[in-house]
Amino acid sequence: MRITDARVIVTCPGRNFVTLKLTTEDGVTGLGDATLNGRELAVASYLNDHLLPLLIGRDARRIEDTWHYFYKGAYWRRGPVTMSAIAAIDTALWDIKAKVAGVPLYQLLGGASRDAVLVYAHANGPDLDGAVRAVASSLDLGYKAIRVQCGIPGLSSTYGVPRGLQPYEPAEKGAPSEHRWSSEAYITFIPKLFERLRAEFGDELHLLHDVHHRLTPIEAARVGKSLEPYRLFWMEDPTPAELQEAFRLIRRHTVTPIAVGEVFNSIFDCQQLVQEQLVDYIRATVVHAGGITHLRKIAALAELYQVRTGCHGATDLSPVCMAASLHFGLSVHNFGIQEHMPHTAETDRVFPHEYTFQDGYMHPGEAPGLGVEIDEELAAEYPYDPAWLPVNRTVDGTVHSW
């Protein structure tokens, strides 16, 4: 079953997405997400200029072989651009394989390990009252797990909190915006947020929080300790994870569970974190971590150490990635939770899909393959529109992790 056509579709139905569409000689098509927020065209070029010419004519059934052909064959390994491009090919091949078999993808991944996939919502408020209102709205929608971000007194903007009434979307048109950050202000404020949320909503709700890589290890340890009374489901990305051993220091001081890995692109990024049990959830996802094939290996390593999955699922991961993630999450035994940040209506129209949300859980549906397609005519009505992630500086002007 030869691959006869491979096309990269770049579209901006509200935000930019890069999608790979493969077609076989029998006319079966498969989709893969290749979106790398703020660096989209680098992946489109990597696919168009370097991988797709070698993909045409290959046997679509040889998923594992194709993965290694592009990973080892490049000589230059890993990195978000390479791994997103390989992920798109891998995901599209799994889509094709499942369509040919006539089954939803999760059936090829071992079948369902659970009835549905627990997802968490985003609730963002400019201040404590706003955060409480946002959590109440997510509860009304049926979510059982909610990530809460809140404006920090004294800081004009912060990660996760929209400036206006629009849903939060970090990539902005024009030049990158600049945020100002104070770890001191954040560390003082953040326990007050979760104290208030537990007082308002009780013990049952799963509460999550994203530190977004901003603290030093000892600051992160302090925050984890200060949040212990509020029993978070997880504290995410408390410190940048390039230095995996940094998490030893956090672990020595706090039992607040830790989630890490949305920027990871290979099993080597998380190897030490997992093997030393320095984290509880691994957030690597299909699009940025080499596709279904590689993510399954990360999950298998994690399973040995009782680390569970918690795949990234922000809006910059397209509905194609969300579908793939739901098939993965439904099937993998050590699933923990899946992030769910709903796409805009225009994005959902460009990517008609079978997955559903009900009562705090999602299901990928029973359509053969991934259960997501792209309306190419509609996609063409939304040309690429460059957008940038913000840059973060501390209050004295020093560039800091965003």
User: Which residues are annotated as catalytic?
Assistant: 159, 212
Copy the structure tokens of residue 373: 């397609």
Q: Which is nearer to ligand KDG, 24 or 158 (CB)?
A: 158
Smallest distance from ligand KDG to CB 147, Å: 7
Question: Which one-letter amino acid corresponds to residue 332?
Answer: V
DSSP string, 363-391: E--SSSBTSB---HHHHHTS-----B--E
Q: State the virtual CA torsion across 97, 99, 103, 109 in degrees, nearest 10.
A: 30
Q: Which is nearer to Mg ion, 47 or 284 (CB)?
A: 284
Smallest distance from ligand KDG to CB 312, Å: 6
Q: How would you label 378-401 residue by residue, b for 16+ Cβ within 10 Å and e otherwise?
A: ebeebeeeebbebebeeeeeeebe
Smallest distance from ligand KDG to CB 236, Å: 6
φ, ψ of residue 48 in degrees (nearest 5): -65, -45
Q: Which is nearer to ligand KDG, 28 or 260 (CB)?
A: 260
Choose from Mg ion, ligand KDG, none: what does 219 bind? Cβ within 5-8 Å by kind.
none
Closest residue to Mg ion: CB criterion: 210
Contact positions toward ligand KDG, by CB under 6 A? Answer: 37, 170, 210, 212, 262, 312, 314, 316, 339, 389
Contact positions toward Mg ion, by CB under 5 A? Answer: 210, 262
Q: Which is nearer to Mg ion, 190 or 350 (CB)?
A: 190
Asked if residue 316 lies in contact with residue 15, where contact means CB atoms within 8 angstroms, the answer is: yes
Q: State the virtual CA torsion across 162, 164, 388, 33 in degrees, nearest 10.
A: 70
Choose from ligand KDG, Mg ion, none: what does 340 bind? Cβ within 5-8 Å by kind.
none
Q: Crossing angle of helices 128-140/183-201, nearest 10°?
A: 50
Choose from Mg ion, ligand KDG, none: what does 170 bind? Cβ within 5-8 Å by kind.
ligand KDG
Smallest distance from ligand KDG to CB 285, Å: 10
